[in-house]
Amino acid sequence: MSDEQISSRKARIPSAEAHAYVKSILEVNGVSPEHASIVADCLVAADLRGVDTHGVNRIPSYVARIRQGVLDPKAEPELKEITPVVAQVDGKNGFGFVSAKLGMAKAIDMAKVFGIGMVSVKHSNHFGMSAWVVQQALDAGLMSLVFTNSSPALPVWGGKSKLMGVSPIACGAPGNEHPFILDMAPSIAARGKIYKAKRRGERIPKDWALDAEGRQTDDPSAALEGVMLPMGGPKGSALAIMMDVFSGVLSGSAFAGHVTNPYDPSRPADVGHFLVAIKPDLFMSMEDFKERMEYLYQRVVGSDKMAGVDRIYMPGELEQLVHEERSRSGIPYVEAEIEALNEEARRVGSREIKVTGWEE
């Protein structure tokens, strides 16, 4: 069987199996059971939503950083209250998932009392899919803003070298049946999609990135040597700079091109986050707010459709549908991905992902 045939086979893995794999390998690598469970929750949540670029396949890069001593698996983030509605978390170079969850929990507590809560996080690491932090606020019935900065991948408008990160901007608001969740990168495509294409031996659209010589490319390896392209030209570039201001400059973390790539195990990442939770019923009842959100939803999805469009979706709705489907049928991983994950497990003697059948 050729390498191409091997990489094209898929297996559907139950979310509980994927969670057990992540928790096991992290614990063997020195992460506490509590923190390992938080990371597993977030990575599996990404895979369930179809955000495969930020799911369980990130594990090899995370454990490589632990082995190199540039991510502290035993770090306990430190929370400091600044004002009644402002706090800061020092991530102590631990997992970004743990620091962000602590930060949003504090923002939620403040917002429930004072209407709004803001938390800045410093000295953190990659926290995966931003939507899980938004969901944390939604589960508490709150609106949210979730910002983070990231390693250089994007040129500023008019430049040609990597300077800004492909840093996601995310926010959310509760509804009756249809919550609003926005989680998007300021680039044409998230950089994780380039890594995913490389991992799976796939090509990428030519308008996603430039190679090291500044030429359009459909080769993910060449794209990673070059730069991502901002969405909307100067607008995407400006959003990337905004993420750096609020997440890096304000927090005291790395900024202006000095955040370390999560796939680079040479030094700490020093990522910053900016988290805000807001009570939706500050100016009206929660019932009225949710009714207005439902009206907005119906207006959006009921809009007149352009030619060739069968259905219009609210931001986050497609991922919600994928979550429902994958919760039933399992998370699809290609064979090469499962082999890479199990190789990491065998390396430390932790639990491997069990496959019960393959799909061609």
Domain ranges of the chain: 8-68+330-359, 76-187+230-315
pLDDT value at residue 7: 56
Specify the CATH number for 8-68+330-359; select among 3.60.15.10, 1.10.1530.10, 2.40.420.20, 3.30.1490.20: 1.10.1530.10
**DSSP letter, residue 202:** -
Is 252 exposed, middle or buried (CB count within 10 Å of its CB: 0-12, 13-18, 19+)? middle
Helix, coil or strand: residue 342 = helix
* pLDDT beneath 50, residues of the chain: 1-6
Length of the chain: 360
In this predicted structure, what is the pLDDT of residue 214? 84
Please give the single-letter amino acid code of residue 325.
Answer: E
Contact (CB, 8 A) for 248 and 149: yes
pTM for the whole structure: 0.92
Q: Which of 88, 154, 163 is nearest to 124 (CA)?
A: 88
The structural architecture, per CATH, of the domain 76-187+230-315 is: 2-Layer Sandwich (3.30)
Q: Which helix (H) or strand (E) holds 183?
A: strand 180-184
pLDDT tens string 53-90 = 999 999 999 999 999 999 999 999 999 999 999 999 99
How far, in Å, CA of 355 to CA of 112, rounded? Answer: 44
